[in-house]
């Protein structure tokens, strides 16, 4: 009689672990989607600054300001992505919330934010 109960407990534990893994992967996908959105902002800002050329000074100034706003928006998206990722890891009580994945995410966001800021100052 104990055998079916043990088997059902084992299956329940296995399903729980698989559900945790699915949640972790969904959290990682969401983080990377936010990073992709931030990169699109930065890339769009650089494209507007570099590739739109206007003869009239006012139009050139507007395109430059618009591009710079997009780059700053991309940096803000990177920071938001990191905060959201960290909070989601804590809510999900993931084992690696304080270890590798958070530090890797912090390193990626810092690198992208610094590179985007450099691009912002280069294009200014």
User: How many angstroms separate the CA atoms of 91 and 23, rounded?
Assistant: 11
Name the domain count of the chain.
1
| The pLDDT value given to residue 102 | 80
Check residues 95 and 79 and name the one with the higher pLDDT. 79
pLDDT digits (tens, 9 = 90+) for 81-98: 999 998 888 888 766 555
The mean predicted confidence, pLDDT, of the chain is 86
User: How many angstroms separate the CA atoms of 80 and 105, rounded?
Assistant: 12
Between the alpha carbon of residue 75 and those of residues 29, 70, 91, 96, the distances in Å are: 19, 9, 25, 25
Q: Specify the residue for token string 């969401």.
A: 30
| The pLDDT value given to residue 97 | 55
pLDDT digits (tens, 9 = 90+) for 31-70: 999 999 999 999 999 999 888 877 888 888 899 999 999 9
| The pLDDT value given to residue 33 | 95
% of the chain residues with pLDDT over 70:
91
Q: Domain of residue 84: give its range.
A: 2-123
pTM: 0.80
């Amino acid at each position: 009689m104990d055998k079916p109960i043990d088997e059902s407990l084992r299956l329940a534990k296995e399903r729980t672990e698989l559900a945790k893994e699915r949640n972790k992967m969904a959290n990682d996908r969401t983080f990377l989607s936010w990073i992709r959105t931030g990169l699109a902002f930065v890339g769009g800002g650089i494209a507007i600054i570099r590739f739109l050329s206007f003869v009239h000074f006012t139009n050139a100034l507007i395109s430059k300001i618009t591009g710079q706003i997009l780059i700053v928006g991309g940096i803000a998206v990177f920071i938001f992505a990191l905060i959201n990722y960290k909070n989601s890891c804590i809510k999900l009580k993931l084992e690696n919330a304080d270890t590798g994945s958070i530090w890797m995410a912090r390193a990626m966001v810092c690198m992208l934010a610094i590179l985007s800021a450099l691009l912002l100052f280069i294009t200014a």
